[in-house]
């Protein structure tokens, strides 16, 4: 049975079919994950898991098997989340995907540690003193256990560097490279269960489920993390054409290539960029487009944040570019209303600049609130959009008034909500696009929630990591 989504339009004709399709994809994805967890739990139950709970040692081993099944399932779900599958990426968006990715990752890792500890304790007949010796025997005597130990250490490295305190001390490029060890960790940690785990081999259905999930995860990585970026890089042959200063620490990079009209990128999205300039080219940089793509060239705008972004200023025309993506849902796709509002801080205004150019809207139906401590970024371009498209622009100067406020000290003395409603009285009836540092966007979220903007019409992207 097929379902046809008829377009629903508001005012000037915003087509909401994509937004409703994405809602269906999110729902189906949630159901599939819940069903997979229920299925592996049923494997544990039918394998005698509940009956084994009557004894101490057998109970430890049984719960250890269950946590191992759940951890294995969620680890493969984690790989699928990391695989950048376009259908999922478009439906979920980076902001929500990052939160889900983090939650699933820490949950699967905790369950995996519980699995190792409980299984070992159970095999040690429930005696804590015998656990170290039993762990050694299991590691060296059982098939695949040395691989599993190596995989676990890789995952420990990934999780340890993903904790917020550790993450803040690493450059994004270094963290991103370390994070790729998650693939190696999953690849090494799971095979021993396919070889020896009774719930993996107990029935044809169980075997088919696990191998199908494995194949889906591996195939998604090969296609979307390796194949698609390689194909697009070779097909489009991207090269730097110019580097233009925008401010004392901000530059725009112009890139051109072949058949760019066939690159499936839209205003508001970002790509991961590698500039082939020599050492360090393997480090990826996520930058949003700062101009709507026109089929002939692309433009990104980069602020020198003291890491690999500082090298962008030194790029020369002709440098080849490797890309991954496009990614991100800060686009027209989730839009459901004619009127829109853009709220950006600092260099976070770059995707909003592209959206202000690329989205359709009537004069006066789009408003931009731009906060910063220096002169407005893209001020002449926004002036042109105001003159030619009717974009309303409010510059909010100054440093943040407080940790709880997203406004600058030059915005006025009233509270954030009062000022926001003064600039955009009908904010609750608009789609709102927000981009900036995570702590700042959290503050904007709170104000928009108080202004009764529904979560379904709030589209956020954090340029921090």
Which of 102-111, 125-134, 148-157 has the least mean pLDDT?
Answer: 148-157
Same domain, 146 and 28: yes
Same domain, 152 and 300: no
CA distance 146 to 288: 42
Same domain, 89 and 46: yes
**Cβ partners under 8 Å of residue 160, min gap 6:** 166
**Cβ partners under 8 Å of residue 192, min gap 6:** 142, 143, 144, 145, 147, 148
Joined tokens for residue 62: 């049984």
- The enclosing domain of 278 has a CATH number of 2.40.30.10
> Is 280 contained in some domain?
yes
Same domain, 68 and 194: yes
- The enclosing domain of 196 has a CATH number of 1.20.120
When comparing pLDDT for 209 and 203, which is higher? Answer: 209
Instruction: Reply yes or no on whether the pLDDT at 122 is more than 80.
Output: yes
> Is 4 contained in some domain?
no
**For the chain, what is the mean pLDDT?**
84
The number of beta carbons lying within 10 Å of the beta carbon of residue 165 is: 6
What confidence tier does 153 reach under pLDDT thresholds 50, 70, 90?
A: confident
> What's the domain range around 362?
340-462
Pairing of strands 340-345, 431-436: parallel
Phi-psi region of 275 (alpha: psi -120 to 50; beta: other; left: phi over 0): beta
> Is 9 contained in some domain?
no
- The enclosing domain of 414 has a CATH number of 3.40.50.80
End-to-end CA distance of the chain: give it in Å, rounded.
42
> Is 273 contained in some domain?
yes
Instruction: Reply yes or no on whether the pLDDT at 35 is more than 90.
Output: yes
Same domain, 370 and 279: no
> Given 327, 354, 389, which residue is the final one in a domain?
327
Same domain, 250 and 317: yes
For the segment 284-318, what is each residue's pLDDT rounded down to a tens digit?
788 999 999 999 999 999 987 665 666 788 889 99
Which of 21-25, 142-146, 336-340 has the least mean pLDDT?
Answer: 142-146
**Residue 255: how many CA atoms within 13 Å on its side-chain side?**
32
What confidence tier does 33 reach under pLDDT thresholds 50, 70, 90?
A: very high
When comparing pLDDT for 162 and 229, which is higher? Answer: 229
Same domain, 98 and 196: yes
> Is 405 contained in some domain?
yes
Q: Which of 271, 284, 255 is nearest to 327 (CA)?
A: 271
**Total count of domains within the chain:** 3
> Given 269, 295, 327, which residue is the final one in a domain?
327
For the segment 40-77, what is each residue's pLDDT rounded down to a tens digit?
999 888 888 888 888 888 889 889 889 988 988 998 89
> Is 8 contained in some domain?
no
Q: Which residue has the tokens 């195939």?
A: 219
> Is 270 contained in some domain?
yes
Same domain, 23 and 131: yes
> Given 231, 246, 279, which residue is the final one in a domain?
231
What residue ranges in 19-171 does DSSP mark as E strands?
none
Same domain, 270 and 197: no
Same domain, 62 and 177: yes
Same domain, 172 and 227: yes
> Is 1 contained in some domain?
no
Same domain, 383 and 438: yes
């Amino acid at each position: 049975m097929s379902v046809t989504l008829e377009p629903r339009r508001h005012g000037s004709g915003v087509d909401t079919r994509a937004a409703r399709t994405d809602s269906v994809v999110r729902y189906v994805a949630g159901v599939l994950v819940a069903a997979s967890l229920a299925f592996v739990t049923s494997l544990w139950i039918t394998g005698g898991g509940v009956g084994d709970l009557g004894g101490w040692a057998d109970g430890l081993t049984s719960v250890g098997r269950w946590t191992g099944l759940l951890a294995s399932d969620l680890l493969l779900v984690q790989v699928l989340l990391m695989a950048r599958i376009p259908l999922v990426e478009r439906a979920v968006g980076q902001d929500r995907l990052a939160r889900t990715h983090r939650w699933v990752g820490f949950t699967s890792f905790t369950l995996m540690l519980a699995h190792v500890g409980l299984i070992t304790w159970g095999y040690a007949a429930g005696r804590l003193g015998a656990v170290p010796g039993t762990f050694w025997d299991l590691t060296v005597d059982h098939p695949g256990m040395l691989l599993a130990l190596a995989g676990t250490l890789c995952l420990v490295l990934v999780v340890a560097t993903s904790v917020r305190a550790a993450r803040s001390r690493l450059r994004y490029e270094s963290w991103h490279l370390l994070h790729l060890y998650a693939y190696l960790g999953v690849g090494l940690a799971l095979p021993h269960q396919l070889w020896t785990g009774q719930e993996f081999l107990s029935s044809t259905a169980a075997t088919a489920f696990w191998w199908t999930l494995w194949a889906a995860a591996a195939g998604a990585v090969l296609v979307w993390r390796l194949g698609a970026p390689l194909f697009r890089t070779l097909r489009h042959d991207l090269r730097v054409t110019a580097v233009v200063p925008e401010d004392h620490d901000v530059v725009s990079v112009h890139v051109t290539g072949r058949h760019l009209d066939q690159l499936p990128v839209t205003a508001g999205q970002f790509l991961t960029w590698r500039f082939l300039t020599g050492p360090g080219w393997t480090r990826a940089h996520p930058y949003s487009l700062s101009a709507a793509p026109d089929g002939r060239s692309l433009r990104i705008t980069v602020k020198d944040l003291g890491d690999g972004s500082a090298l962008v200023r030194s790029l020369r025309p002709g440098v080849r570019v490797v890309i991954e993506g496009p990614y991100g849902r800060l686009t027209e796709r989730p839009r459901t209303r004619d009127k829109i509002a853009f709220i950006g801080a600092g260099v976070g205004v770059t995707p909003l600049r592209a959206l202000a150019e690329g989205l359709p809207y009537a004069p006066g139906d789009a408003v931009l609130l731009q906060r910063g401590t220096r002169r407005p970024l893209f001020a002449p371009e926004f002036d042109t959009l105001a003159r030619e498209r009717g974009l309303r622009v409010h510059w909010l100067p100054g440093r943040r008034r407080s940790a709880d406020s997203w406004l600058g000290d030059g915005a006025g003395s009233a509270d954030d909500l009062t000022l926001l409603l003064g600039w955009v009285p009908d904010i609750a009836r608009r789609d709102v696009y927000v981009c900036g540092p995570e702590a700042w966007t959290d503050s904007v979220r709170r104000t928009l929630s108080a202004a009764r903007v529904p979560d379904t019409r709030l589209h956020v992207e954090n340029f921090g990591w």
